[in-house]
Amino acid sequence: MDLPVVNHKDYFAKIGDDHKFPINKFGDLADYLIKEKIVKKFLKPYPCSVETLKKAHSEEYINNIKNKTLDEISVKKIGFPLVDSVVKRSFIATGGTVLASKLAINYGVACNTAGGSHHANYNGGAGYCVFNDVAVASHYLLDRGLAGKILIVDLDVHQGNGNSDIFKDNRNVFTFSMHSKSNYPAKKSISDCDVELENDLEDKEYLKILKFYLNQLNQENFDFVFYIAGVDIHFNDRLGKLKVSDEGIQKRDEIVTENFFSKGIPLCGVLGGGYNKDTKKLVELHSYLHQSCAKLV
């Protein structure tokens, strides 16, 4: 069996060549996965419906994105220009994670080549996140009885504050965020389990802490896992403050995916953040998620 991976050409958006966000990585990653024979072909998502989005976001906010009527301050908070391609990308990438989550149930594991927009909350977006795809997909699975107790494992260097905000009163979703202590967002929300890491943490200690908490999470009876595999923990990342190596990230992804797959718990992997100074390296780092999942199937 081949690993089911979701991708769409519209994951790329026209945000300007001089923008700080490395938007080209989505197309480059898709090309890399095919070239390296990690993936043979992609599954194509549809745009997420307003009805599905409404479970995680206010209808007013969704319509303001759809109609490009969001106020200037809110647009600035997101960090992307609110142009047609960004709007299209936001709906399509969220639909991609919904599709990947359904594929994970059918095949045990599946990935999106985007997703992990964990700073968006019910009323708005932030930090390059328009819609919170993992929150939307979690509600989708719960509402249809496809999952009963969901775990979100967020290993991006930044706290997944949007997920913890959206699910703060929902006992069917457990949010685990292991992130840099002194990084964005300045004001952290309260996750079900927050692990704040000191700056300059390297592979050995990082993986030791991760294994400890995975053992704790294994005591619970989760029946679905979303894995936000941010690579901004890398030592050469522009927005990260940790010192994890290439090998450390590769090992991390193998540990997480194997841990849940071996227990028969469906896992949906999404990209998360990555702002490496070297674009080719960034794509390689993101591909470790898909490589680790492909080995399982």
- What residues have CB less than 8 Å from 211, skipping those under 6 apart? 255
Buried b (16+ CB within 10 A) or exposed e, 148-174: eebbbbbbbbbbbbbbbbbbeeeeebb
Q: Strands 193-197 and 267-270: what pairing?
A: unpaired
Active site residues: 119
d(CA 15, CA 20): 9
Q: What is the DSSP string of 113-150?
A: SS---TT-BTTB-BTTBSS-HHHHHHHHHHHTTS-SSE
- What residues have CB less than 8 Å from 16, skipping those under 6 apart? 81
Place of tokens 């609110």: 82
